[in-house]
Chains A and B, each alone.
Chain A
């Protein structure tokens, strides 16, 4: 079974631009979560989608948004990029997002550099 895939793996943008990252979950998984990983802040939860609906949201500004499609694939968008948005963005999927029984599988991440 294929793992979680994220595209692109590396991205370079300039301040003020916007970016869209894509995540394809493991087949059959309906919950997709996004995390931002930086050296200073560590791993921070962005949001979770389940059945095309945002179910949980972390403490990030509205510039960070996402969506999930009917095939469970998810995209994350960051508008008006800032230097501080440079990070590794990780996507994770699980069957239904039930913490007690599901296992969350992470993708390799998208490395975003903002110049």
Chain B
């Protein structure tokens, strides 16, 4: 079975500080991994995805994530937080078909 664990349901960072959102996955086969962002009253928007190519994946809005098989992790980072980054972030895994398993989400607050 596949599952995703996001450590920290709430993360606060100062504007300009490093953003680090943690995601660990469980999968019996090589997974596809995703990060999505959700702004209030909106659907999810894809930030980036890992599909077994480069382990360091660059996404939109300056975000990137590194796939570490040995740690079963896919943490999301951004060097410098912006106020507009405040949102809910979801990590997801898919191994076959088009069925996604999502983490419970991390709410990011950016402090001015």
Contacts and interface: CB of A to CB of B under 8 A. Distances in A.
Interface of A: 4, 31, 33, 35, 42-45, 48, 50, 55-56, 58, 90, 92, 94, 97-109
Given A106-B44, A106-B45, A107-B43, A94 B104 contact: no
Interface stretch (B21-29, B74-82, B94-102): B94-102
Contacts of B92: 43
- Interface SS majority for chain B: loop
Contacts, number: 67
Contacts of A100: 32, 51-52
A104 B99 contact: no
Query: Size band of the B side of the interface?
Result: 20 to 34
Interface string B84-112: 00000010101011111111110000000
A48 B96 CA distance: 13
Nearest to B43: A106
B98 A42 contact: no
B41 interface: yes
Contacts of A33: 98-100
Nearest to A109: B43
Contacts of B42: 108-109
